[in-house]
Amino acid sequence: MSTNSLVAYLKEDGTIVSTYVHYDGYVTGVGLTLLEHYNTEERAFAVSTAGYCSSLSESLEKSLEKSVHTELWNVNENREEFEDYIRLDSGLEYVYLWSDGYWKVADWSLKVTGVGKYAKYESTWNGFSDLISTFVITGRESVDRYRSLDSEYEDSADILEEFVEKWDLRVEHLSWAEAKRLVDGKF
């Protein structure tokens, strides 16, 4: 099973380039990797134009070497076309977008009613929010979940908690204008 994601970059001319990542697309997977290893203009553009990645690691070269496909990156002419594209691709679970010098993330909520062949699925796109604050919130929830499980997950909880604390410190030191922008979801 996979958690599919798209990693995108908004260029100055308004076009958006994007790369598909097949595995670990959730915020504490690809999201954390973007924050830790692709958190500059240059690195964000490089990963967004890399083409298909089976998974994303700290090295773009390693990511491409491990990939099972060789599709090129996608180009959308403008923001409206990009949002139409991502909303129509029902296989995507997360979309990461670099714009205005930082990462944003969008996801979908899934509502299931009924059972078996009578099940109905309704997917709602939640729009974009700041990746750092989303990572901190999601990361804390994951740490709590890991700690509620068997002790075999303690090491995973400890490792993730270190990253959550590191990125939480960055959110705490934002200016009022930056914090308001994050809360309002404006970018």
Task: Give the pLDDT score at 102.
Answer: 94
Q: Token pair for residue 178?
A: 């930056």
pTM: 0.85
Q: Is the pLDDT of residue 91 over 90?
A: no
Number of other CB atoms surrounding residue 93 within 10 Å: 17
Contacts of residue 38, Cβ cutoff 8 Å, sequence gap at least 6: 7, 44, 46, 47
Q: Is the pLDDT of residue 187 over 50?
A: no
Greater confidence (116 vs 176) lies with: 116
Type and span of the H or E element at 20: strand 16-21
Mean pLDDT (the chain) is: 88
For residue 38, give the amino acid letter. Answer: Y
Task: Give the pLDDT score at 63.
Answer: 85
Mean pLDDT, residues 138-142: 93
